[in-house]
């Protein structure tokens, strides 16, 4: 039988869309009809399992799936034997401790002897231990933010992105204990045939990520300022310089990160650059 790899992705939630978009951007075609738990790609040897994110680390550790896309928070909490093979840069969030808005907060010692509600007992337990705080942890699986108002706990430890959910529930964030983003995980004992498919997938993901971080830039410049402009946008090997139909002018093409672009834009214009176009790059292989 031909080798095929299996990847576990979240069925529906905050990781799902970005996980599937990344795979599509790698040129992999598949149909994921709603309600389906499994599907197979048409043009790449990969099969998808659609699962709850909580179950992804376990399935990958057991080898039911070879790869998985999951938040680091869930991965560390589940503590399964898997390898992180790539950080994916989406679903960024933090795990924080929060208490009722009106309370004074003198520091982490505040939690000594208190009750804290969370869905992340392991991460929280480790954090409290390393800060030498003894508190009792109440594990609940959802709606953690309401715990203080119903008298279940004095504080909570939960995922925060903007902080608006905390505010709506009369809470304030007091300690950030963990930062998370989506990661690609793999089973540590994969057969060589599967490993080489994973390598191909990683190559494509890297090309997509490189492309996203960079822009293609085109501009017109008077020939006497070309040296200055080339030094501002050095590109991959060096910029392309083409003559314009108008005497004394050139078109300069290069690649640079979006940050570099904004940093250099004033100097580029001072150097005489005009008609500057910035174009997205779909894939980039160095």
Instruction: Summarize as ranges the residues that interact with ligand ATP (CB under 6 A).
Output: 10, 13-15, 52-54, 71, 73-74, 91-93, 159, 161, 180
Contact 80, 38 (CB under 8 A): no
Strand segments, DSSP code E, in the chain are 5-10, 38-40, 46-51, 67-71, 83-87, 93-100, 115-118, 136-139, 155-160, 171-180, 182-186, 214-222, 240-243, 249-257, 274-280
Among 8, 22, 23, 53, binds Mg ion (CB under 5 A): 53
* Residue closest to 232 by CA, chosen among 272, 258, 261, 212: 261
Show Cβ contacts of residue 94 under 8 Å, excluding neighbours closer than 6 positions.
Answer: 159, 160, 161, 176, 177, 178, 179, 180
If contact means CB under 5 to 8 A according to the sort of partner, which of ligand ATP, Mg ion, none does residue 15 touch? ligand ATP
Q: Which is nearer to Mg ion, 88 or 256 (CB)?
A: 88
Show Cβ contacts of residue 12 under 8 Å, excluding neighbours closer than 6 positions.
Answer: 50
Minimum distance, C-beta of residue 51 to ligand ATP, in the bound complex (Å): 7
Q: Which is nearer to ligand ATP, 9 or 28 (CB)?
A: 9
Q: Which is nearer to ligand ATP, 50 or 111 (CB)?
A: 50
Beta strands at 67-71 and 182-186: parallel, antiparallel or unpaired: antiparallel
Q: Which residues pair with 83 in a beta bridge?
A: 186
54 counts as binding Mg ion under rule CB under 5 A: yes
If contact means CB under 5 to 8 A according to the sort of partner, which of Mg ion, ligand ATP, none does residue 180 touch? ligand ATP
Q: Which is nearer to ligand ATP, 77 or 154 (CB)?
A: 77
Span near Mg ion by CB under 5 A; candidates 49-57, 62-70, 205-213, 225-233: 49-57
If contact means CB under 5 to 8 A according to the sort of partner, which of Mg ion, ligand ATP, none does residue 161 touch? ligand ATP
Minimum distance, C-beta of residue 90 to ligand ATP, in the bound complex (Å): 8
Show Cβ contacts of residue 114 under 8 Å, excluding neighbours closer than 6 positions.
Answer: 135, 136, 153, 154, 155
Minimum distance, C-beta of residue 99 to Mg ion, in the bound complex (Å): 24
Minimum distance, C-beta of residue 87 to ligand ATP, in the bound complex (Å): 12
Show Cβ contacts of residue 148 under 8 Å, excluding neighbours closer than 6 positions.
Answer: 99, 100, 117, 154, 155, 156, 169, 170, 171
Residue whose C-beta lies closest to ligand ATP:
71
Q: Which is nearer to Mg ion, 103 or 181 (CB)?
A: 181
Q: Which is nearer to ligand ATP, 10 or 96 (CB)?
A: 10
The DSSP letter of residue 237 is S
Span near Mg ion by CB under 5 A; candidates 28-36, 45-53, 173-181, 232-240: 45-53
* Residue closest to 11 by CA, chosen among 30, 32, 31, 25: 32
140 counts as binding Mg ion under rule CB under 5 A: no
If contact means CB under 5 to 8 A according to the sort of partner, which of ligand ATP, Mg ion, none does residue 159 touch? ligand ATP
Can you give the binding site for Mg ion, defined by CB under 5 A?
A: 53-54
């Amino acid at each position: 039988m031909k080798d095929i790899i299996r990847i576990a992705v979240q069925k529906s939630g905050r990781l799902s869309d970005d996980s599937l978009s990344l795979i599509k951007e790698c040129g992999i075609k598949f149909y994921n009809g709603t309600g389906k738990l499994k599907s197979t790609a048409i043009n790449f040897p990969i099969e998808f399992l659609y699962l709850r994110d909580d179950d992804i680390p376990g399935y990958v550790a057991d080898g039911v799936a070879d790869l998985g896309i999951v938040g680091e928070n869930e991965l560390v909490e589940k503590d399964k034997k898997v390898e992180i093979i790539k950080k994916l840069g989406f679903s960024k969030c933090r795990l924080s401790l929060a208490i009722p808005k009106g309370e004074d907060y003198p520091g982490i010692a505040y939690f000594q002897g208190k009750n804290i509600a969370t869905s992340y007992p392991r991460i929280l337990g480790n954090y409290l231990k390393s800060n030498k705080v003894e508190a009792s942890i109440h594990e609940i699986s959802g709606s953690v933010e309401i715990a203080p108002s119903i008298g279940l706990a004095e504080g909570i430890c939960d995922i925060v992105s903007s902080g608006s959910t905390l505010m709506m529930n009369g809470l304030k964030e007091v300690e950030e204990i963990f930062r998370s983003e989506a990661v690609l995980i793999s089973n540590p004992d994969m057969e060589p045939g599967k490993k080489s498919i994973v390598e191909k997938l990683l190559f494509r993901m890297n090309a997509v990520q490189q492309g996203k971080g960079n822009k293609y830039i085109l501009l017109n410049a008077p020939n006497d300022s070309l040296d200055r402009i080339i030094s501002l946008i050095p590109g991959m090997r060096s910029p392309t310089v083409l003559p314009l139909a108008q005497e004394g002018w050139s078109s300069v093409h290069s690649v640079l990160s979006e940050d570099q672009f904004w940093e250099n834009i004033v100097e580029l214009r001072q150097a005489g650059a005009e008609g500057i176009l910035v174009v997205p790059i779909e894939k980039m292989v160095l």
